[in-house]
Structure 1
Amino acid sequence: MTNTDRERHRERETAFYLFTQQRLPACKPVLTPAWVITIFLFTGFIFIPVGLVTLRASRSVVEIVERYDTECVPEPFRIDKVSYVQDDSIPKNCSLSLKVRKYMKAPIYIYYQLDNYYQNHRRYVKSRSDRQLLHGWKYHATSSCQPVEFNNNQPIVPCGLIAWSLFNDTFTFIRERAELKVNRKNIAWKSDRDHKFGKTVYPFNFQNGTLIGGGKLNPRIPALWGPELFTMEQEKFFRMIQEMNCHLTFKLQTSEFKL
């Protein structure tokens, strides 16, 4: 080993020693009271205007929340709501009046909220088959869809608890006897409509069992077959699959709101 190699080796050992012993040169500013006050004032000057703008934007939002699962159930059935929901002979139409106290600027978004429902339950989240939604009933490996996998020894398309519990309430909005049109198109992600879900997947044997979990899909219309045939239920089904924002039991079928 030459003298040059020894010097390089010694320099590397010295640098490694300083690094392991945390003795490398470092900047150690002294936080005096003047520095601390200056930093806090500078931070406040930046974030206080941002907070005021955010607060103003949040207060300008007009939100109307109306719970209808109790008001729309007849008085004799409020003790046993399940029997009322499961009885098909009783009409499920309901009308409620909403008073808009502030001006609502378009576009106006409509959402539904479900309480006391745990969509992140492990068994529920796994009860689906993405490959079946892509290939249809030709894909037979649907063991992940249990317990909603077969009915009368025939496969269910789409299978799984997520599809089985399709939220099936419908809403109509009326203002001064004129019905307000609600745009239900493009509520599902375009990437899912184009790539994740098959364009020739027809619902088969869906909601034909003794225990009905939610809404039904048109078996004569594929999951996605162009915008002209893409029904509201199919669109809502894809949105539900994305967020698993659905219900495990029936609720009201039709609700009419008057503004």
Structure 2
Amino acid sequence: MYLNMQKYIAIIYNRTFSRFTQQELPACKPILTPGWVITAFILVGVVFIPIGLASLFASKRVVEIVDRYDEDCIPQSFKNKTLGYIQDDKTNKTCTRSLVVPKLMKSPIYVYYQLSNFYQNHRRYVKSRSDQQLRSKDGEWKTTNCEPESLMGDKGPIVPCGLIAWSLFNDTYKFSVNDTTLDVNKNNIAWDSDRKHKFGSDVYPKNFQSGGLIGGAKLNSSIPLSEQEDLIVWMRTAALPTFRKLYGKIEHDLEANKTITVTIHNNYNTYDFGGKKHLVLSTASWIGGKNDFLGVAYLAVGGICLFSAIAFILVYVLVPRPLGDPSYLSWNRNPAGRWK
């Protein structure tokens, strides 16, 4: 009995007091000497500052035109009843805007619509879709998460179902310069992975926007969802309440000081929730669209690192101290304060 107890205790001891539990395994334990710290800060500064300058210059070269039109496209007689105007099918919602090109815009020129105060990231809104239905015809009846836009009475399921598809953006834009129409290419505006894997080529719209309350754009029932790129772009929900989505591309250069005439069909209802609508025309650089934040962030981090490196060099030169000097330990600096 005594021997068995000893064996049991030995097993428990070996399991509890191993090299792993006692943190005695071989490990790299770098010592951050002043030389290493200063060198690391200098390297980060030398690398980050050129990247920041290149990013900032690339962003500055992007030419962007942003025009808010939701307020100006309301007739004067409807200024105090915007909701009634946008919900009335009989009102003329055509609006003409003039945009001046500030600098040469080389093709392709990307056309975006920007919405503000629209929370696509709301939990119930994000869940209101059926990926199985979008992906394959066999999932047509899988509409559990799509309420209240799931079924059309005895006619069967709504395809695509859910509030995301139901609220599809439906403003349209037409562009011209000197009475010459600028074609907007709407091909390849969605991600390839979405077209090929998330939206089926055998899935066609069915019972869509045929209820009493119309939410947004209608879809062509003879075109499969994999080719309806406006829907695919819209279905990739945004993380923030202000977002841009690609409408199309203008594949012509626009000279500086030219006036672009835009004919807008102002159909989408953002007035009910205090939203804003902008039309955005933008070129692109190697870092994408206009965004100064990335360049400023790199410059700030690089500048802070170089400043820290200089500060450490001054401290190291003016107030040197031996590495690992035990006299700086608290019990050596104040021997009387030690416990007895």
Runs of 4+ in 1 over 4 A off after TM superposition: 16-35, 244-247
Structure 1 segment 39-58 matched on structure 2, within 5 A: 39-58=40-59
Structure 1 segment 175-214 matched on structure 2, within 5 A: 175-214=177-216
Residue 60 of structure 1 and its aligned partner are, at CA, apart by 1.2
Q: Which of structures 1 and 2 has the bigger CA Rg?
A: 2
Letter in 2 for 1:235: E
Counterpart in the other structure of 1:243 = 237
Residue deviations 1:103-149, cap 9 Å, x none?
22221111111111111111111111122223448732312110111
Q: Over aligned residue pairs, what C-alpha RMSD do you find?
A: 3.2
Aligned with 1:57: secondary structure?
helix
Structure 1 segment 22-41 matched on structure 2, within 5 A: 22=23, 31=32, 33-41=34-42
8 Å CA contact retained: 2:135, 2:200:
yes
Residue 94 of structure 1 and its aligned partner are, at CA, apart by 0.6
8 Å CA contact retained: 1:137, 1:157:
no
Residue 68 of structure 1 and its aligned partner are, at CA, apart by 0.5
Counterpart in the other structure of 2:68 = 67
Tell me how far apart the structure 1 counterparts of residues 46 and 94 of structure 2 sit (CA, whole Å): 55
8 Å CA contact retained: 2:205, 2:225:
no
Residue segments in structure 2 that go unaligned for 5+ positions in a row: 1-13, 246-264, 269-276, 282-340
Aligned with 1:89: secondary structure?
coil
Residue 190 of structure 1 and its aligned partner are, at CA, apart by 2.7
Tell me how far apart the structure 2 counterparts of residues 141 and 105 of structure 1 sit (CA, whole Å): 46
Closer, same or farther: CA 22–138 of 1 in aligned 2, 3 Å = closer
Higher relative contact order (CA 8 A, sep 6+): 2
Closer, same or farther: CA 32–147 of 1 in aligned 2, 3 Å = same
Name the TM-score, length of structure 1 as normaliser.
Answer: 0.77
Tell me how far apart the structure 2 counterparts of residues 103 and 57 of structure 1 sit (CA, whole Å): 15
Closer, same or farther: CA 143–26 of 1 in aligned 2, 3 Å = closer
Residue segments in structure 1 that go unaligned for 5+ positions in a row: 1-12
Counterpart in the other structure of 2:314 = none
Residue deviations 1:191-247, cap 9 Å, x none?
33334323232222211112110011122x13258xxxx5xxx22012212336899
Counterpart in the other structure of 1:141 = 142
The structure richer in strand per residue is 2
Letter in 2 for 1:58: S
Closer, same or farther: CA 100–31 of 1 in aligned 2, 3 Å = same
- How many equivalent residue pairs? 233
